[in-house]
């Protein structure tokens, strides 16, 4: 399960962290994203997907959405969840409820 989206410590984006950590097949994830027409930079230990907003995907399943817009981060999370068959969130409504900070 993923924890709720939360504003990163530097306030530059939102992150979703799986609990417990996952073991993502980044090669498979890259191919799936590219099949959907999403450009991907493969940095070996992480992927950077040119979505709206841009998202960094780690091997452990941590997702970093480069936006300060919680709704945009939630939409991108839901799309990634479907494309990569990621587990759901403990609260399916991922948008933070208290001003963007958990």
CA distances from 88 to 2, 11, 44, 45, 99 (A): 6, 24, 25, 23, 22
- The pLDDT of residue 89: 60
- CATH number corresponding to 6-84: 3.30.310
Which of 36, 31, 80 lies closest to 54, judged by CA? 80
Q: Domain ranges in the chain?
A: 6-84
- The pLDDT of residue 90: 54
Could you tell me if 14 and 51 are in contact, meaning their C-beta atoms sit under 8 angstroms apart? no
Instruction: Say what the pTM is.
Output: 0.81
Judge whether residue 94 has pLDDT over 60.
no
Better-predicted residue by pLDDT, 10 or 41: 41
Alpha-carbon dihedral sign for residues 32, 38, 39, 41? negative
Average pLDDT over all residues of the chain: 85
- What's the pLDDT tens digit per position in 63-74? 999 999 989 999
């Amino acid at each position: 399960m993923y924890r709720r989206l939360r504003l990163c410590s530097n306030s530059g984006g939102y992150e979703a962290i799986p609990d417990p950590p996952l073991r993502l097949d980044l090669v498979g994830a890259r191919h799936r994203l590219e099949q959907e027409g999403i450009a991907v930079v493969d940095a070996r230990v992480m992927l950077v997907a040119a979505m709206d907003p841009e998202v960094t995907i780690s091997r452990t399943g941590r997702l970093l959405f480069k936006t300060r817009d919680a709704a945009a981060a939630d939409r991108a999370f839901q799309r990634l969840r479907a494309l990569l068959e990621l587990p759901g969130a403990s609260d399916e409504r991922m948008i933070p409820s208290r001003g963007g900070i958990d």
